[in-house]
Chains A and B, each alone.
Chain A
Amino acid sequence: MRNYECLFIANPNIEGDGMSSVVEKVTAYVKEAGAEVANIQHWGKRRLAYQIEKQQYGNYVLMYINGEAPKIVDLQRSFELDSTILAYLTIRLDEMPEFDKVFIPEDDGEEDRRGGRSRYEGSRGKYGSSAPTGPEGKAPVKDVVLEEDEEDDVEMDVDVDADADVDLVEIEDEDESVAENDDDTEELKSDAKIDTESDALDDDNSDDDSDDDSDDDIESEKK
């Protein structure tokens, strides 16, 4: 007997009992393949990194199986034939892990934020990638360094991820400062309004009216 780890994605739009029926079906497949399920873990509905069969989300289920290699092929075939299973991945393990400590990745909520961050990272990363293009590439890189000051040093020193954190902090700071400025200006405006409103409300209207009137008068005179 050998140890296998099997992760599969079920279609999230299953009617009826939903996942429990799918899991029953899959355990039946495992038994047909002469294997047994040692452990089963539900990750729940997660966002897929790319669409599979036009689905953006999938129900991930992780199974640990004891079985024999030729029979595991049968299991894979039954996965392949089952239309409710979007994707599957079976891996042979040397040892079974401690099931409590098996790593379950974070949910997809993180995904979008990370995408945004990496995009920002990439725009900086391209400066870096243009650096090792030989002697000719050095001059523009120096310019970049001058512009960006110490940040570029940080980029050289710290690895990609730490750099990303630095970038994040910067972005947040900028946002906050902008937000604060906005608040201040708004307050100022509101103060100004309070000062002028009492004096000017009637005057403004009258002025506008008079202006309009005078314009009209002029036009009428011209006519």
Chain B
Amino acid sequence: MRFKMQYKRKICKFCENKEVPVDYKNSSTLKRFLTEEGKILPRRITGTCASHQRQVVTAIKRARNIALIAYSADVKNV
């Protein structure tokens, strides 16, 4: 059972739903691509395709810059 799950191909969220643009303002969507600490999750975990992952990365960095997303979880609680 778990073997099946491990090899199941993940589909890129943004390819799946093309109406949602990769936008730094959409912080709630971008948070799905972050770890608890606020690190960017790798493509192999989220299943994002290469081109969309590049867009996600720039969007996350922009959102961090303008304080929509924290750089790290610790900073937020200080």
Contact = CB atoms under 8 A, between A and B. Distances in A.
A135 B35 CA distance: 25
B78 to A, nearest CB: 8
Interface in A134-155: 145, 152-153
Interface string B1-22: 1100110101001000000010
A87 interface: yes
Interface stretch (A23-31, A101-109, A175-183): A101-109
Interface in B20-77: 21, 23-28, 31-32, 35-37, 41, 45-47, 62, 64-71, 73, 75-76
Nearest to B27: A105
Contacts of A96: none
A115 interface: yes
A9 interface: yes
Contacts of B24: 89, 91
A36 interface: no
Nearest to A43: B25
Main secondary structure of the interface of A (DSSP, over half): mixed
Nearest to A5: B25
Contacts of A119: 36
B36 A50 contact: no
B62 to A, nearest CB: 6
A83 interface: no
A58 interface: yes
Contact of B62 (A89, A103, A121): A89
Size class of A's contact patch?
A: 35 or more
B35 to A, nearest CB: 7
Contacts, number: 78
Contacts of A125: 35-36
A103 B8 contact: no
B1 to A, nearest CB: 6
Contacts of A110: 28
Contacts of A89: 24, 62, 65-66
Contacts of B6: 156
A58 B66 CA distance: 10
Contacts of B68: 49, 105
Nearest to B67: A48
A122 interface: yes
A156 B24 CA distance: 28
Contacts of A50: 67, 70-71, 75-76
A94 to B, nearest CB: 12
Given A103-B25, A118-B36, A87 B66 contact: yes
Interface of B: 1-2, 5-6, 8, 10, 13, 21, 23-28, 31-32, 35-37, 41, 45-47, 62, 64-71, 73, 75-76, 78
